[in-house]
Amino acid sequence: MAAVPDRMDPRPASAEPAAGDARAGASGAAAGRSLLFLREEELRLAQDLLFFGYRDFTAGADAILAELGLGRAHHRVLHFVGRSPGISVGDLLGILGVTKQSLGRVLTPLVEGGLVQASEGRNDRRQRLLSLTPKGVALERMLFERQRERVVHAYREAGPAAVDGFRRVMRGLMGPDARAQVDRLERASSAGQAASGPAVGGRAAG
């Protein structure tokens, strides 16, 4: 006669799945859900979000520029010259990704309007270095403040985790050259903040 075990487990063998199987099932379900944002309709929605977000982000600055007979191309020059005073024309061309002729057409009214000034390079007189005049600094600041309000509102509403995700997505949309340009700007910004000390009153750094 077969030996009878001293203790019997009253639970049926199939009452609970193994812990490993449960984790695997949960992981599979999460992976399935995470792929939903790759569906075509979700990607088209992403295009919609980018379009409408950019439209409303630029609307306020566009109105100010229009009053001065300027447009977004002029704003881009004001922005990047303001971010990097003394930037060379060659470096600005690399950032904007435009031809020298196109940049010349944008720079001319900014220089003639007293917003941007050009100076000779220290080591190469053929090099042109660009910086904003006091008038240009004031206009660039006005444009920044108009857009800053919208970005601060969106950041506060979304929260830190969403802001970090937004930055990751935007970097993912960039090519290697654009990411390198952003890295350079971030390093310069960090160095400037370190030199000027911590922000006062929790105000976002400009």
What does pLDDT average to over the chain?
Answer: 83
27-42 tens-digit pLDDT:
555 545 566 778 889 9
| Nearest Cα to Cα of residue 75 among 110, 40, 120 | 110
Question: What is the pLDDT, as a whole number, of residue 21?
Answer: 53
Residues 196, 201: Cα–Cα separation, whole Å: 14
Question: How far is residue 141 CA from its own chain's centroid?
Answer: 19
Looking at CATH, the fold of the domain delimited by 41-158 is given as Arc Repressor Mutant, subunit A (1.10.10)
Find all residues with CB under 8 Å of 133, minimum gap 6, and list them.
Answer: 114, 115, 116, 117
- Look at residue 118 in the predicted model and tell me its pLDDT: 93
Query: Is the separation of the CB atoms in 106 and 73 below 8 Å?
Result: yes
Give the C-alpha distances (Å, rounded to integers) separating 110 from 82, 101, 138. Answer: 13, 15, 13
Cα three-residue angle 202-203-205, rounded to 5 degrees: 120
For residues 104-124, one letter each, b for 16 or more C-beta atoms within 10 angstroms of the residue's C-beta and e for the rest, the string is eebbeebeebebbeeeeeeee
Q: By mean pLDDT, which of 81-85, 121-125, 156-160 is the weakest?
A: 121-125
pLDDT per residue over 23-80, tens digit each? Answer: 555 455 554 556 677 888 999 999 999 999 999 999 999 999 999 999 999 999 999 9
For position 36, what pLDDT does the model report?
Answer: 75
**Residue that has been written with the tokens 């790759």 in this structure:** 38
Domain ranges for the chain, please list them. 41-158
